[in-house]
Chain A
Amino acid sequence: MKTVSSRILICLLLPACSMGDREAEVAPPRVVAAEPLDLSASSAERFGFRQRSSGAAERGRALFAFDLPDGWTEEPSTQFRLINLMAPGGVQCWVSTAGGALLANLNRWRGQLSQAAMSQAEVDALPRKDLLGVPAIYVEIEGDSSGGMGQDPIPGAKMLGLVSDMGNGNSLFVKMLGKAEAVDAAKPGFEQLRETLRPGPMADDSGAAGNVGTPPAAPGNGASPIAWEAPATWNQIETRNMTLVTFRATANPETECWVSHWPGEVGGLQANVARWRRQMGLGPLSPVQVAALPKLEVLGGEGVIVEAIPEDDPDGSVVSALLALSVFVDGRSTFVKMIGPKDQIESERENFMNFCKSLENH
């Protein structure tokens, strides 16, 4: 009986043994009609450590995407022009942001074309056109351009302008300037630009330090579409050009947190998570992992909490980390991002979550 039991036991145990190196046959192939595959990407590109395309280098293209009208060319962006385009006939067209009152900006433009200032009532009566999902004031001004800012004077000039209030004390401008006849000819292209202008793949990074500083917006109020309640230990600092508000943690001064709000999905959650993680030196997450990220009910939708917290550097260097909230509701994306040294991010985690929970639609 013992012999039989031992043999059975040996038979049962055999399948569990490892067999070392092996050789195996590959099954016959089949022909597949796949989409063209990218078989030349580097390891860094394949693993998400570097963008596959090289077009994201320019900040304007990172913040905005658009369909370039036929015959137009794209010029290098400048300090004041996030998008800088040239239409036929020497017509310039650009996208920019700036602070300041709407009336003052419009009258500054009118002054540049030797036109008298408008009253607030006249500005209120100006037509509106949709720009990035919100109504923007549309203005046409004709006159002699006096030049300035390195520009040559243009007699018989015409300017088309769109001004959109970004809700943070800043405005977004789309302007076209040139000879009146050439501007009229390029008007369909201007309309195409307006209609196709959309948030770029890195629009939510607009709160990162290094942007143009402007006066702070009223906390959670003003024209902002979103209200919030900031932790008592956070100080509101200058609002950066594409954000609703930016805070700095008093106890952790290298940590900043900002809110941005955009039409559309801004690249999509999968790509955004990959980019945020890449910024922290981490690889991307799979779609299944992204789907499993923690959720937070906020702003009438389901937000996704993203953490990009690298392991400690073996060299002892300071490691940066990121916490983010991404919410897509009613066709608009809201991002809350907090970036700072890893230890500071950990100590501000509770404040970050409380801040996210406090967000409400205005």
Chain B
Amino acid sequence: MSSLGGKLIESFSSFKLSVGILLGLFILTWLGTLAQVDLGLHAAQKKYFDSWFLVQRLFSIGDWSMALPLPGGFLLMLMLVVNLVCGGIVRLRRRWDRVGILITHLGIGFLLVAGFVKMYYANEGPLQLFEGDEKAEYSSYYAWEIQLVETMAEGGYREYVIPEDDFIDLGPDNKVTYGSDELPFDLVVQHFMTNCQPAQKGPMFTVSVPVVDGFYLREMAPGLQAEANLAGVYISVVDPETSLPQEGILWAGESGLNETMFGFDAGGTRWGAVLRKRRWPMPFSVRLEYTEKQEHPGTTMPRSFLSDVVVTDAGVTQKARIQMNEPLRYKGLVLFQSGWGEMPRGKYTVLAVVQNPSDQWPLWACIIITLGLTIHFSRLLFRYIKREAREAT
């Protein structure tokens, strides 16, 4: 253990580090829970748990404030995995009486890996269906995308989708330029706002963002319910030959309001652009046949919801019932019963669709952990019984 690698493993596998990481996670959980009051669930989760580092404001006196940099949940969890692997697996003594501990550590490591896979590769969002509705795509709770549509001469539209990845974290003076061999223009995106409202620019005040067609985007503080935020962004459609831009504002509230889009001409055809919640196609369609809310007697408090759906996959249909704690798992998607409502148009259900490659991994991890603990404690129990019997004789 005198080599650099050995020293590293020794450092990363120490119990002190384990205690420090767990203490750090405890503090983050405490701060994150308190922060939900002011930030809301999603923003608090992003700040405290989906982060490498964060700055925690402690207190302020006048213009002077005290802040403390802290490791984020992502960093601590990564360190926990390293600590677990180094301490519980690499440095563990290879003896039969330690096999239970080894299995338990492998299970915990697997559980953490499942969390990482979910964080990076899973997506989820709501699917609202009125009775009789059939849909084959679901949208995100939080993520955005710009949809560009080109009117086709033979009818229909050609759709280009630009996910938010490159434009949501742009600085106020930065922009991203999108291009493609198939696009007759470059699309410049800038001034993304997480939550905003279009407003008419009056003569009595100035604004720090561009004014397009008499309107500008007025930035607002993100709401406590992040899924209710209405994002906005400025775009410029630039003809590469003339460099003449067509300026436009995209605002997410528009897509919920009507079927309009920002329209522009390029390459001899009519185009449209809209900012909307990111959508994912499903490899099958779901039609809602019947939905029901059961209430606690004498109240309007829901006791349970259920949805009878018909899944159509490549022309083959099958019926399924989705209810609380009994989701539908099909082709890598999990459809949970999430909400229910009634409007003049009729009853509707809200299903939470989750696409998670590690969906069942926590279950397997728990089984592995249970197995490891059972082996370990059984061994201890037998040893105790044996010792007691020996002392009794």
Contact = CB atoms under 8 A, between A and B. Distances in A.
Interface of A: 1, 4, 12-13, 15-16, 18, 20-35, 37-49, 52, 264-265, 268-270, 274, 281-289, 291-292, 297, 302, 314-315, 328
B263 interface: yes
Given A4-B8, A39-B261, A292-B225, 12 more contacts: A16-B52, A16-B53, A37-B259, A37-B260, A43-B214, A44-B214, A47-B251, A47-B257, A52-B258, A269-B343, A284-B257, A315-B202
A29 B214 CA distance: 32
Contacts of A30: 158-159
B94 to A, nearest CB: 27
Contact of A31 (B148, B156, B198, B252): B156
B156 A52 contact: no
Interface string B111-145: 00000000000000000000000000000000000
A52 B258 CA distance: 9
29 contacts: A1-B4, A12-B75, A13-B52, A13-B53, A16-B53, A18-B174, A20-B171, A22-B175, A24-B178, A25-B179, A26-B179, A26-B182, A27-B180, A29-B159, A31-B158, A37-B149, A38-B258, A38-B259, A38-B260, A43-B214, A46-B254, A46-B258, A48-B258, A268-B344, A282-B197, A284-B256, A286-B257, A292-B228, A315-B204
Contacts of A40: 263
Contact of B177 (A24, A284, A286, A292): A24
A288 B200 CA distance: 24
B205 A314 contact: yes
Interface in B14-62: 52-53
B213 interface: yes
B249 A29 contact: no
Contacts of B180: 25-28
Contacts of A39: 151, 260-261, 263, 270-272
A285 to B, nearest CB: 7
Contacts of A25: 178-180
B307 to A, nearest CB: 18
A291 B270 CA distance: 34
A47 B198 contact: yes
Contacts of B171: 18, 20
Contacts of B170: 22
Given A21-B175, A21-B176, A31 B215 contact: no
A18 B167 CA distance: 11
A20 B150 CA distance: 30
Contact of B253 (A32, A43, A47): A47
A27 B160 contact: yes
B216 to A, nearest CB: 10
Contacts of B341: 291
A35 B157 contact: no
Interface of B: 4, 7-8, 11, 52-53, 75, 148-152, 156-162, 166, 169-171, 174-180, 182-183, 187, 197-200, 202, 204-205, 212-215, 225, 227-228, 230, 249, 251-254, 256-263, 270-272, 300, 341, 343-344
Contacts of B156: 31-34
A362 B172 CA distance: 58
B63 to A, nearest CB: 26
Contacts of A12: 52-53, 75
Contacts of A28: 180, 182
A24 B214 contact: no
Given A18-B174, A29-B158, A35-B259, A23 B179 contact: yes
A116 to B, nearest CB: 46
A284 B270 CA distance: 27
Contacts of A52: 258, 260
A272 to B, nearest CB: 12
Contacts of A27: 160-162, 180
A283 B149 contact: no
B228 A286 contact: yes
A102 B90 CA distance: 94
B4 A4 contact: yes
Contacts of A15: 52
A114 B38 CA distance: 74
Contact of B157 (A1, A34, A268, A284): A34
A32 B7 contact: no
A38 B261 contact: yes
A288 B8 contact: no
B9 to A, nearest CB: 12
B198 A264 contact: no
For the complex of A and B, list the 10 residue pairs with the smallest distance between their C-beta atoms, beginning with the closest.
A39-B263, A265-B344, A41-B260, A26-B180, A43-B213, A47-B198, A286-B256, A22-B176, A38-B260, A39-B272
A311 to B, nearest CB: 9
A30 B254 CA distance: 23
B228 A288 contact: yes
Contacts of A31: 152, 156-159
A123 B2 CA distance: 109
Nearest to B78: A12
B149 A32 contact: yes
Nearest to B146: A26
A13 B272 CA distance: 39
A208 B127 CA distance: 39
